[in-house]
Amino acid sequence: MAVLEKELITNLKKINSKNATEVTRLELSDEELASIDKEYCTYGDKIHAEPVPKVFRDCNGSFMYDSENVPFLDLEMWFAACNLGYKNKRVRDAVVDQIDTLPQISSHFQYDYKVLLSEKIAKANIKRFGRKGRVHFNVGGSQVIEDALKLVRNYTHKSRMFSFYGGFHGRTLGASCLTAGYRYRKPFGHFSEEAHFVPYPYCYRCPYGKKCDSCNYYCVQQLRREFEDNCAGLYDHSSKDCSLGAFFVEPVQGSGGYIVPPKGYFKELKKVLDDFGVLFVDDEIQMGFYRTGKLWAIEHYDVKPDVITFSKSLTNGMNPLGGMWAKEELISPEVWPSGRTHSTFCNNPIGMRAGYEVMSIFEEGDFEKEVANKGKYFLDGLKELEKRHKRIGNVDGLGLALRIECVTEDGYTPDPELLHDIISEGLKGDLMYNGKKCGLILNKGSHYNNTITLVPAVTISYAEIDMALSLLDQLFTRLS
Ligand SMILES: Cc1ncc(COP(=O)(O)O)c(C=O)c1O
């Protein structure tokens, strides 16, 4: 054997004989973690939104466990990234198998699960929308939005888009142009391609002061009027050309507070977009993968999107993979050739394998029925709480995307302080259920910073929903 070869084998043996570093899971106390964090970690992400970040050590199903092993019922599920619950065995086993077979492969080589996952998603959309299309992957929701922006710009040569008040599409520079809140852009200078923002159908607090049952989609009519006016800036009637490329839509508004539009809303909106040549990009990053009881939330509204973006629960939180599906004319190899967009990790095999398993689980189960039934059961329980607690202004939901508005004594004025206190109190871990100490993890969203967004695992049990209702009841009783 050549000397070099011998040396290589000895080196490999040495490397493989070492065990992975034992991460000092329980050896470092919460306080020790906090002191290292204070010195070396950025404060620019959201861990430091609260003065003392909560430490968790384990997770399983619908629960997280803190350093004292107190169970916290999780109604946030990593911002809807783990719809199938923590440590889902099938997804875990698939990932482990992938680690043992083909864990690494450069994103410009071909392998099985990348094409098989594309096929699954493309076929799911043919079944749902009767449209042939293709799938393009990237890493994380914002990057997928960037890719969708590029796709629309590539096809329409337009760089500005429509988006909604309260819309959230990510924090990269391009996605920030579509994300409505000024606070997301404020520190970063001028955004020349900021979207044209349009009011969301937030009927409980209608921006036009209308009533949902009698408004006749007044907000959509307003948009149509803007198009019809030759001097309003949207549309040139002589050349029949819109100055904007696409409307980026959340079918249920996520970070805006889990707002569910009325049944016919998107059909009305789509008529306007079709009349004036604007593409419909359906952002399912938060609402996809059966959060609302359908693979895509837009299915509730009977419209056909031109592009769908997805991420989060695609891998059940096991990998930051995301992707976009687009109808053929936008994404065929002729109009979207090699290299239009790409990143080192975009086709990574662990993510593809996890995604393939997640899609298989959804195909095999009856999630449509289950999520609808559980969602109704949960919402009925929330309605009971609403009757008993004056400080609950509104509850609503679609499937297991549910909301509670915290309000003042008058029953309507938004109360962000109450929301904040309820979330902090849940994280203390001193609630009681069936004689045992526990906590509750809640998420927030909304236009007025007063809404609890409930994002349980779609696999949550009825017993866990009962527990959730009891813990919410305890929190409103304590703090109202
Ligand atoms: C609808 C929607 N789009 C885009 C994003 C951005 O995804 P990411 O945080 O993975 O960049 C989010 C994140 O919450 C989202 O809810």
Q: How far is the CA of 177 from the centre of ligand 1 (A)?
A: 13
Give the other-Cβ count within 10 Å of 299's Cβ: 18
- The C-alpha angle with vertex 268 and arms to 263 and 269, in degrees rounded to 5, equals 105
Radius of gyration over alpha carbons of the chain, in Å?
24
Amino acid sitting at position 165: Y
The answer to whether the Cα torsion of 351, 352, 356, 362 is positive or negative is positive
Q: Which residue's CA is the nearest one to ligand 1's atom 4?
A: 169
Cβ partners under 8 Å of residue 18, min gap 6: none
Could you tell me the end-to-end alpha-carbon distance of the chain, in angstroms, rounded to an integer? 78
The distance from CA 306 to its chain's CA centroid, rounded to whole angstroms, is 19
CATH number for the region 93-364 comes to 3.40.640.10
Burial of 195-208, coded b for 16+ CB within 10 Å and e otherwise, reads beebbbbbbbbebe
Q: Distance from the CA of 374 to the center of ligand 1, in angstroms?
A: 25
| Residue 402 · residue 378 · CB < 8 Å | yes
Check residue 50 and give its pLDDT: 86
Which backbone phi and psi does 230 adopt, to 5 degrees? -60, -20
Domain 58-86+367-479 CATH assignment equals 3.90.1150.10: yes
Sheet holding 71-74, edge to edge: 56-60, 63-66, 71-74, 436-441, 431-433
C-alpha dist (Å) from residue 126 to 130, 206, 278, 293, 419: 4, 35, 22, 18, 42
Which residue of 286, 289, 315, 453 sits with most ligand 1 atoms within 8 Å of its CB, as the best mutation to test the pocket? 286
Provide residues with CB under 6 Å of ligand 1: 79, 140-142, 145, 168-170, 250, 254-255, 283, 285-286, 311
Cβ atoms 251, 396 nearer than 8 A: no
* CA 207 remoteness from chain centre: 25
CB 152 within 8 A of CB 236: no
Q: Whose CA is nearest to atom 13 of ligand 1?
A: 170
Instruction: Give the ligand 1 atom nearest the CA of 172.
Output: 11
Answer whether 397's CB lies under 8 Å from 374's CB: no
**Bridge-based pairing state of the strands 451-454 and 443-445:** antiparallel
Measured CA to CA, the distance from residue 65 to residue 256 in angstroms comes to 28
The contacts of residue 421 (CB under 8 Å, 6+ apart) are 479
- Phi, then psi, of 220 in degrees rounded to 5: -70, -40
Tell me the whole-structure pTM to 2 decimals: 0.96
Q: What is the rounded CA–CA span in Å between residue 81 and residue 421?
A: 25
CA 168 to centroid of ligand 1, rounded, Å: 7
- Identify which of 143, 164, 248, 285 to mutate to test ligand 1's pocket (most ligand atoms within 8 A of the CB): 285
- Taking the centre of ligand 1 as the mean of its atom positions, its distance from the CA of residue 108, in whole angstroms, is 26
pLDDT in tens, the chain (480 residues): 555 566 656 665 665 666 766 655 558 999 999 999 999 999 999 999 888 899 999 999 999 999 999 999 999 999 999 999 999 999 999 999 999 999 999 999 999 999 999 999 999 999 999 999 999 999 999 999 999 999 999 999 999 999 999 999 999 999 999 999 999 999 999 999 999 999 999 999 999 999 999 999 999 999 999 999 999 999 999 999 999 999 999 999 999 999 999 999 999 999 999 999 999 999 999 999 999 999 999 999 999 999 999 999 999 999 999 999 999 999 999 999 999 999 999 999 999 999 999 999 999 999 999 999 999 999 999 999 999 999 999 999 999 999 999 999 999 999 999 999 999 999 999 999 999 999 999 999 999 999 999 999 999 999 999 999 999 999 999 998
The answer to whether residues 289 and 362 touch, using CB atoms and an 8 Å cutoff, is: yes
Separation of CA 117 and ligand 1 centre (Å): 21
Q: Where are the domains positioned within the chain? A: 58-86+367-479, 93-364
Q: For residue 309, which atom of ligand 1 is closest to its CA?
A: 3
| Closest ligand 1 atom to Cα of 311 | 10
Query: Residue 209 is which amino acid?
Result: G
Query: Which residue's CA is the nearest one to ligand 1's atom 6?
Result: 170
Q: What angle do CA 280, 284, 289 make, to 5 degrees?
A: 140
Q: At what angle do helices 367-388 and 462-479 cross, to 10 degrees?
A: 20
